[in-house]
Structure 1
Amino acid sequence: MPYRPTPFSVDYLPKTHHTLLHKFYRHHKSSMCITEQADAWVVRATEIIAGVCLSPVAEGFWLTSLFTAPAYRRQGIARLLINHLQDSYVDKPIWLFCHPQLEKFYCNLDFVTAHQLPEPLKSRLTRYQKNKTLIALCYHHS
C-alpha cells in the first residue's frame, strides 16, 4: 500500500492526560468513559477528534470507548486508530463488543467472531446483553 501522508496523528495519552479524552467525550455528549487501568489513544488534527481505550483483560486487551467526532466521521479516522492499535499490540488478542450493524466495519479490520472469551468478558457480555444486542469480536495478529 503506498504511503499517504495524513493530517492526523495517533497518540498515546498518558494517564496524567486522560482528562483530555474525558473532556472530548463530554463535549460530544458521549457516554464513553475511561477506566483507570486503560491505555487511552487519540487521533488529533489540531485537537482531539477521536479516542479509544484498551484495557488489559486476561491474556489480552478489551477495546472500548471508540468515538469519532461527528464532523470527522466517514473519513477513515476510526480505521486509522484501530490499525495503529493492531500494529502496537501485536502479541495479544484484542476483544470488543459491538452492535451487529458494526460487525462488517470490524470484520474489514480483520476482527472475527469471538467464540471463546476470557471469563471477565464473558460475564460482562452476558450482563450487557440483557439490555442490548451486542456481539463479541476478536483480533489476533497473525
Structure 2
Amino acid sequence: MSTPHYRCLPSELQPLLNKFYRSHRSPMRGQAGDEVWVAQSSGDIVAALSLRPVSAGQWLTGLFVAPALRRQGVAGELLRACLAQHPEAIWLFCHPQLRCFYQRQGFVDCDPLPAELAERLARYRRNKPLVSLRAH
C-alpha cells in the first residue's frame, strides 16, 4: 500500500463516500451538506469522516477506516488533517472504549453540548452507551 494522502473530498466526488462505506458493509452513509475528508491510497478511499455544521462548530460523524488498515495511524492522521483546517469547535459521539483514542487526538470530554447535539445524544443513548467529546 502506498502512503495515504489526506484531503477534503470535492463535493462532486462525494458519492464515492457511500460506495466506500458499502464496500465494507458499513451502515454509515454521508449526507448532503456534509464536508467529507478522506484518506486515499493508490486512488482508493481507505478511510473517511464527515463534518456536519452545527451551531458554533461542526459535528464529526462517520469515521471509518478500512479493516485492513486499522491500527496503522490512518484515522489519527485523517483527524489531524481535518482538524488543522477547522479552528472552530468539533464535537463527536463515540462508544466509551474509543474515548482514549480520541483523547490522544486532542478531544476532551464535554458538557454541555449545543442544544441540537444534546437532544440527538439523548436519543442515541436510549439504544447504546455513548460519550460526547469536543476538540478545540
TM-score class, shorter? over 0.9
**Aligned counterpart for 2:81 among listed residues 81, 84, 104:** 84
Report which stretch shifted further, 30-39 or 59-68: 30-39
Number of the residue aligned with 1:26: 22
Write the distance in 1 (CA, Å) between the matches of 2:4 and 2:22. 21
**Aligned counterpart for 1:65 among listed residues 62, 66, 72:** 62
Structure 1 residues not aligned, in runs of 5+: 1-5
Q: What TM-score do the two structures reach when normalised by structure 1?
A: 0.92
Number of equivalent positions: 134
Shift, 1:80, TM fit: 0.4
Shift, 1:21, TM fit: 0.8
Write the distance in 1 (CA, Å) between the matches of 2:116 and 2:20. 28
Q: Deviations along 1:30-83, whole A, 9 cap, x unmatched? A: 011111111001100111100000011001000000000001111000000001
CA RMSD of aligned residues (A): 0.9
1:130 aligns with 2:126: yes
Write the distance in 2 (CA, Å) between the matches of 1:38 and 1:55. 5
SS in 2 for 1:74: coil
SS in 2 for 1:37: coil
Q: Which runs of 4+ in 1 moved over 3 A?
A: none
Shift, 1:85, TM fit: 1.3
Report which stretch shifted further, 9-18 or 99-108: 9-18
Q: Among all aligned residue pairs of Structure 1 and Structure 2, give the percentage whose two residues are the same amino acid.
A: 43
Structure 2 residues not aligned, in runs of 5+: none
